[in-house]
Amino acid sequence: VVRSDDITKDPRYGNNDPHFGMPRGHLPVVSYLAVPVTSRSGIVIGGLFFGHPEPGKFTEEHESIVISIAAQAAISLDNAKLFEEVIALNDKKDEFIGLASHELKTPLASINGYLQILGRLIKDSQHQKFLDKASQQVSKLTSLVSDLLDVSKIEAGKLRLTIAEFDIIEVISEAIELIQHSTGEHAITFHNKSEHCMIAGDAQRIEQVVVNLLSNAIKYSPSASLVEVEVISNEQNVTVAVKDFGMGIDADKLAHIFTRFFRIDEAAPNISGLGIGLYLSHEIIIRHGGRIWVDSEVGKGSTFYFVLPKA
């Protein structure tokens, strides 16, 4: 800290590069107060400088106030630097996820192809069961890789939607048929009062949302045997509800349920997953101009809703 009643009387004044005093055109400075801005690590990262054309203008009180301001400035600058570093690390992580997922797609496709060839060649039923289990695991891993690639695209702002009019009833029916074939413990019932319901959007992405919600409903209700799907439409919107009768979600977790990589680990430690299905579903619905939310009660189950504008 430097505080001088008359800086011009300091023997060092006017002897230093580059201006040898104040720069040309600068207002005259007699009283002078300078306080360094020092980082947490002790490195000087800036300074606060005050001058006045009359002598004796800065007191100890002024000095104390400026020191306090410099300390707050140092904290702000340190935090800004930490934030920039976190953003850079997060970008690298997203880049790695995208690259790793992309590199996994080709070998998985190759493995799946060879399993299909073996399935046609092997006639023994016991061996065929082994192949079926291997194919199921490859399908799960392929789906996971696709989800990770979607996460990477969303974070990079590159998730593209192919918008066209389609019948959401047909899309939901196809999703139910797909999931129903993969579960032997749950029956999926579809409550629908309309034969057709047209919306404008990306049919493949909306089916992805429904598949995610159905998969979660089955995954998180292992002791139940029923999942219900309902479609309610009016002149402006269509609302889809997927209801399970499983373990439910604690109230304090609901605010984070659509957050990337969020999992309810303590409630379901043995259930696999990375916590990206609901995040992807949220991002897809939001990009369609819709809304997605959940109502849940622990021990009674959860109902996930999403609403989309009609075409």
Q: What is the pLDDT of residues 138-197, one digit of tens each?
A: 887 888 888 888 888 888 888 899 999 999 999 999 999 989 988 878 999 999 877 889
Question: What is the domain partition of the chain in residue ranges?
Answer: 2-58, 82-155, 164-309
Burial code (b: 16+ CB inside 10 Å, e: under 16) for 257-269 equals bbeeebbbeeeee
**Sheet harboring 44-52: ordered strands across?**
2-4, 31-38, 44-52
Alpha-carbon gap, residue 73 to 143, rounded angstroms: 48
pLDDT > 90 in the chain, percent? 52
CATH fold of 164-309 reads Heat Shock Protein 90 (3.30.565)
Segment 38-63 shows an average pLDDT of 93
Segment 66-92 shows an average pLDDT of 89
Segment 121-147 shows an average pLDDT of 84
Contact assessment for residue 249 and residue 264, using Cβ atoms and an 8 Å cutoff: yes
Amino acid at 215: S
20-24, 63-67, 114-118, 216-220: range with lowest mean pLDDT: 20-24
Instruction: Find, among 193, 182, 112, 192, the residue nearest to 146 by Cα.
Output: 112
| Cβ-defined contacts of 7-14 (< 8 Å, 24+) | 7/31, 7/32, 7/51
φ/ψ of residue 113, rounded to 5: -65, -45
Q: What is the pLDDT of residues 216-238, one digit of tens each?
A: 999 888 888 899 999 999 889 99
CATH fold of 82-155 reads Helix Hairpins (1.10.287)
Predicted local confidence at residue 294, as pLDDT = 97
Half-sphere exposure of 115 (CA within 13 A, CB side): 18
Using alpha carbons only, what angle is made at residue 244 by residues 241 and 249, rounded to the nearest 5 degrees? 100
Taking each helix axis from N to C end, the angle separating 168-182 and 203-219, rounded to the nearest 10 degrees, works out to 40
Which residues have C-beta within 8 Å of that of residue 106, sequence separation ≥ 6? none
How big is the chain by its Cα radius of gyration, in Å? 31
Q: What is the pLDDT of residues 2-40, one digit of tens each?
A: 899 998 888 877 676 665 667 777 778 899 999 999 999
H/E stretch holding 190: strand 187-192
Predicted local confidence at residue 137, as pLDDT = 84
Measured torsion, CA atoms of residues 107, 109, 115, 118, in degrees rounded to the nearest 10: -100
Q: What is the pLDDT of residues 275-297, one digit of tens each?
A: 889 999 999 999 999 999 999 99
Predicted local confidence at residue 268, as pLDDT = 61
Tokens linked to 283: 């991002």
